[in-house]
Structure 1
Amino acid sequence: MSQPRTAGTHLRRLVVVAYLFLLVIWPVALVVQKTFDGGLENLRTALSDPVVTDALQLTVVVALWAVAINTVFGVGISLLLVRYEFPGRRVLSALIDLPLSVSPVVVGLALLLAYGGTNGTFGPALEGVGLQVAFATPGIVMATAFVSLPLVIREIVPVLHEIGTEQEQAAKSLGASAVQTFRRITLPSIKWALVYGVVLSLARALGEFGAVKIVSGNVAQQTQTATLVVEQKYQDFEQGSAYATSFLLALIAVAALVVVTILRPKDDTDGD
């Protein structure tokens, strides 16, 4: 009986590897191959193009802001969902997954209807005090933060459930304040879940396209992010720059994941 089970295991592994190869590894490898066709010329061309460099700079700024927002609110919402009982908690938990189930294009349109210029609900009032959200960096940050927020929360919530509240309650009984308890007990316990959630959020923020395209206006050297540049360059038959920009985005995301994997202790799990 053991032989068929072993053969079945090998077959399943082969199917999984083939699936990942065809869906992920091979397409990404083709982008890398196209990027370095002819050496470093595609990268030089892309990095010497002001449209590309401005888009990359805007993408990094937006991603950092989105990650910072998601870190603060992700930890806060996670604690609220796990440590407190209140009416509507299950509804809130379900709404957290909304960005993962709704098309990013719908998210962008919703933000545009809420904050856009003369037609947005809050747009005229905000512009009246000198704050433009739609077709500007704040709108891009909001869209990016919205679509990537669940990645932080869904990494932290299971860890908070697993570690329980015993240590936190002990610290409070010894006179520790809420801030001291969080800094000395809770934060060290969720550290790696938070780090991994932040990295996933960063990768998602760097690659956001649909919501950003709607809410940004896609104006070159103003509100055009790197993913929008990839589309424009490819449609303009400047495939070399499109491949190079895609490669740079993928490189940043993969590098962040690799660094976290290397630094994370081997015996550390999300529940530890």
Structure 2
Amino acid sequence: MQFESFTDIRTARVFAPAHITGFFQIHDHEDPMKKGSTGCGVVLDGGVYTTVKAGKDIDRTEIYLNAEIVSGETSRTVVESITELPVKVESISDIPVGCGFGASGAGALGTAYALNHALSLEYTSVRLNDIAHVAEVKNGSGLGDVTGQAHGGIPIRKTPGAPSLAETDQIPTREKEVCCVVLGELPTSSVLSNPEMVENINISGEEAMKKLTEKPTIKNFMNCSRDFAIDSELATGKVRDVIEAADEIGFIASQAMLGNAVFSIPSITSVTSASELVDVFSEFGEVHRFRIRTGSIRIV
């Protein structure tokens, strides 16, 4: 496609959901298609809305997040993987960024799907999902979020790699509420570059997957996630304080991986109302309330 073929600006807007990882295991590989993680997480109805614009009036690629220009390396890699044309990528996030909600993966997916639609490329979902995964892995912004986001619900990632290669399963669920409290940012790369931490993660992640496989329920997912956060030593300081405070009033909470945030699915406990949990979470930081999204990416 050449610029001369554009009679006006071509645009498309896509929503990609957030994904919280409860526990995981890192699988390194030289091939980014085979690199990734195994584990289990939950997909949320909050996420990232990405608009792509292309046309003769756009002379260079620019990436925006919440109306501010950013380097956006992961989304930029997606663009470069799909087209040589300069485009404008504008992402609006209604989830916390850099806190374990998979915002980077959602932005990458949104960019890929929006480009495909705006430029009439006719790529399949499988190909677009893989492009987003490879961009995440190459830029160190994530390992398994894209695979989870591509499926929705509570996906179990049984084997690593891009969505077309990864073997997945699901914990069946309705659109239950998920309560989260954000304590701050935690760059994914800062953890993945620590060899000792990676070893702890993989040992704890393997044990969590074994326990979940024996009893694949939402409540057990939360229990496995909480044990993983503590055993891997990822949950420290304030995160542990929040988890313990939730436990004291009968709720199971865990850390959003990899991020400085805590989440809980209130309805899996015998406590009938989430209001008490929200009150406790509010003592530690900003509270966000979502629902589990059983669908995936959509053009809006």
Pairwise same-fold verdict (TM > 0.5): no
Q: What range describes the TM-score normalised by the shorter chain of this pair? A: under 0.3
TM-score (norm 1): 0.25
By relative contact order (CA 8 Å, sep 6+), the higher-ranking structure is: 1
- Structure with the higher fraction of residues in strand conformation: 2
